């Protein structure tokens, strides 16, 4: 289990393929604020609502000098369909082996209808231009979340 990340510490670097198969690394985004959000599954109700919330709030997010990246365990093909279906104007990264999700401590044992399984706990990390954690949101409730992120970006 990864140690709990804290505000002010260096964000774990990552290198993951986006929906087009291009590798995206945290170090390549230095100088920008990064909204890195982890979500359980493409095209499920909560995840769709969250992704569309970020989509609809992208102008003020970009104005704050930020980029949005979504991360799930889904593959690139699934990401391409999700992006196309909902017109998402940001990249979704495939963490198929859950290595990055584990590094961020969001790959957890979940329990649904008495069945235990491993998956992503909805979480968002706001990373400063210098690569340190600016804000951490765990066990995210979708309603009102984008507003919380915007407030963190502006702080």
Residues carrying an active site annotation: 47
Instruction: Check if the beta carbon of residue 33 is closer than 8 Å to that of residue 126.
Output: yes
Tokens 């590798």: give the residue: 23
- H helices of the chain, in order, are 45-56, 58-63, 76-86, 99-103, 145-154
Instruction: Check if the beta carbon of residue 51 is closer than 8 Å to that of residue 86.
Output: yes
d(CA 46, CA 125): 18
Instruction: Check if the beta carbon of residue 12 is closer than 8 Å to that of residue 100.
Output: yes
């Amino acid at each position: 289990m990864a140690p709990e990340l804290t505000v002010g510490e260096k964000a774990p670097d990552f290198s993951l393929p986006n929906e087009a198969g291009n590798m995206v690394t945290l170090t390549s985004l230095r100088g920008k604020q990064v909204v890195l959000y982890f979500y359980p599954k493409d095209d499920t109700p909560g995840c769709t609502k969250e992704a569309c919330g970020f989509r609809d709030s992208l102008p003020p997010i970009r104005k704050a000098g930020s980029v949005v990246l979504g991360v799930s365990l889904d593959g690139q093909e699934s990401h391409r369909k999700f992006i196309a279906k909902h017109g998402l104007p940001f990249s979704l990264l495939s963490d198929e082996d859950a290595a990055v999700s584990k590094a961020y401590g969001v790959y957890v044992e979940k329990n649904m209808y008495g069945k235990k399984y491993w998956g992503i706990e909805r979480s968002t990390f706001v990373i400063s231009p210098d690569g340190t954690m600016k804000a951490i949101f765990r066990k995210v409730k979708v309603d009102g979340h984008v507003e919380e992120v915007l407030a963190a970006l502006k702080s």
